[in-house]
Amino acid sequence: MALYVKAAEILEKAEKKQGALKTLVYDSKFNNVKQLFALVFETHKFSAVLEEIISTTKLLKLTRLKLPQAKVLVYDLLLGHGLKCGGAWKAALLKNRARLQAALARIKVRQGVCNNQDLIPANGPQDHYTVTIFPHCRYVRVNTLKTSVADTVDYLKREGFTYLGQARTVEDLTLKGTHFVQDMDIPEILIFSPKTDFHNHFLYKAGHLILQDKASCLPAHVLHPPPGSVVLDACAAPGNKTSHLAALMENRGRLLALDLDAKRLSTMSTLLLRAGVTCQTLRHQDFLKVDPQSAEYREVEYILLDPSCSGSGMVCLRDDSDTDPARLSSLAAFQLKCLKHALSFPRVNRLVYSTCSVHRQENEDVVSACLQENNHFRLVPVLPQWPEHGLPPLSQCLRASPSSTRTHGFFVAMLQRHSETDVALGGSLSPSLSTPLVSVPESETGPGPALKKRRRKRKRKKKNKTSGASGLTTQ
């Protein structure tokens, strides 16, 4: 029911020009953003057809539904994968299913089409939006507060999944069927084929698995606060990064999590409870109004700052507002203000700034502007093996993208206080970041036989191509 309520709410706001579809979906902080966007986008695409069906069948009068609610429900009943709700709404739609199906059939006959997709106008919404329902990979993070990577791998193998070992390159992430691998950069991440769905899986419902894109796991992994530390998650909702921080801290220490939206904070509280997080203190508070010198915050040593951004890196949520100059300027000013404020905490030693934006204006430019005004912090290089780094001259930062890392677009920068000795981090990765965060049996960390076979096959193909090219050259 929640899915349809939220989708209808977003469509209504979009109709009233209160925001772009992408922005409204992303700002909703709905638990399953991809599922919500798919329903919103597809309903929007078929909007004219759905409105005609609803009008000719007098559905609103018969059911007392509002038009946006009726549209999302009729879409899923007639054109989608079937209704995913119960109660009065489902009963009302099923009662009128025959007349709705007849109305759809009449429209198809009139337009002379057989397939539903042919009902979409040539200049319809699909020309204005690009949606990727499935990412290149399906990432899940093992919640080490409740289980281990090794135990999770064993459980999934017993369920019929095929474990190929630990990936070494991006090419190893091309997976099909039930095959899965362990990530090469963040050991608590397991990677599956794009269409693998865990929303109804026991391990997800029990909080053992967190459905989280790999790029979204980078900020906590890079910050890596040790157990017993005092950590601030400045813009915390919906809470996946917060639960990741708690796992790295082993639930020891203090984890302060702030958010401006009370509703999102309430949802986050439920998520953290399911994940087994116990070291958190949630605050309904504006980060910019926090007093760094106050008793509650003056001991903060680590800060994760992931402020509001354009969301332009979310491959399933792109629209024209992502590049609006005025909006980007406003966001960058807000982000810079947040970063400056974060560096004013008296005992903060390490800070990670991240966005899910691809724009330099929100990323490298914000970090550069802040460091020009604050000489107590420096950029720290992390994950030297990572394939994509910050735009020059900020090569110490990380960037992620569908093409280079098979993730959403993301940006991560780590800042370290100057007064700390350079030995721990130097110009490279700290020991705490270079070693596996989860103990995994030796047999599980290396590539399995199937993965080795795939690599040998790729090498042979590459060799054959090279020899073929050489042959052509000598002729």
The 10s digit of each residue's pLDDT in 28-62 is 778 788 788 888 888 988 888 999 999 999 999 89
> Does the pLDDT of residue 472 top 50, yes or no?
no
pLDDT band at 110 (very low <50, low <70, confident <90, very high): confident
- Highest mean pLDDT: which range of 12-16, 124-128, 133-137, 347-351: 347-351
* SS3 category, 149: helix
By the 10 Å C-beta count (0-12 exposed, 13-18 middle, 19+ buried), 427 is classed as exposed
pLDDT at 319: 52
CA-only gyration radius of the chain, Å: 25
pLDDT at 210: 95
**Which domains does the chain carry?**
2-127 (1.10.940), 214-430 (3.40.50.150)
pLDDT at 428: 38
pLDDT band at 430 (very low <50, low <70, confident <90, very high): very low
Q: Rounded CA gap, 20 and 43, in Å?
A: 15
Ramachandran category for residue 104: left, alpha or beta (phi over 0 → left; psi -120 to 50 → alpha): alpha
Catalytic residue (choose from 137, 356, 370, 397)? 356
Residues 48, 53, 54: CA angle, nearest 5 degrees: 100
Of 460 and 290, which is predicted with more confidence? 290
Q: Confirm whether residue 236 is marked as ligand binding.
A: yes
Residue 119 has which token pair? 């009902």
Q: Rounded CA gap, 465 and 417, in Å?
A: 50
Q: Find all residues with CB under 8 Å of 286, minimum gap 6, and list them.
A: 258, 260
By the 10 Å C-beta count (0-12 exposed, 13-18 middle, 19+ buried), 124 is classed as middle
User: Which among 33, 440, 439, 438 is positioned nearest to 244, based on CA atoms?
Assistant: 438
Q: Confirm whether residue 241 is marked as ligand binding.
A: yes
Q: Confirm whether residue 306 is marked as ligand binding.
A: yes
Question: How many other CB atoms are found less than 10 A from the CB of residue 377?
Answer: 22
The 10s digit of each residue's pLDDT in 242-263 is 999 999 999 999 999 999 988 8
Any catalytic annotation for residue 217? no
pLDDT at 350: 97
> Does the pLDDT of residue 97 top 80, yes or no?
yes
Residue 221 has which token pair? 């992994």
By the 10 Å C-beta count (0-12 exposed, 13-18 middle, 19+ buried), 322 is classed as buried
> Is residue 173 a contact partner of residue 406, using CB atoms and an 8 Å limit?
yes
Where is average pLDDT lowest: 82-96, 114-128, 306-320? 114-128
The 10s digit of each residue's pLDDT in 132-142 is 444 468 999 99
> Is residue 281 a contact partner of residue 272, using CB atoms and an 8 Å limit?
no
Q: Confirm whether residue 238 is marked as ligand binding.
A: yes
Instruction: For the chain, count helices (H), then strands (E).
Output: 19, 13
The 10s digit of each residue's pLDDT in 378-420 is 999 999 899 999 999 999 999 999 888 999 899 999 999 986 4
Q: Confirm whether residue 213 is marked as ligand binding.
A: no
pLDDT at 267: 86
Output the pTM of the full model.
0.69
Output the CA–CA distances (angstroms, integers) from residue 344 to 228, 256, 291, in the order listed. 22, 16, 9
Q: Confirm whether residue 108 is marked as ligand binding.
A: no
> Is residue 407 a contact partner of residue 391, using CB atoms and an 8 Å limit?
no
Q: Confirm whether residue 253 is marked as ligand binding.
A: no
Q: Confirm whether residue 233 is marked as ligand binding.
A: no
Residue 88 has which token pair? 């009065």
* SS3 category, 384: coil
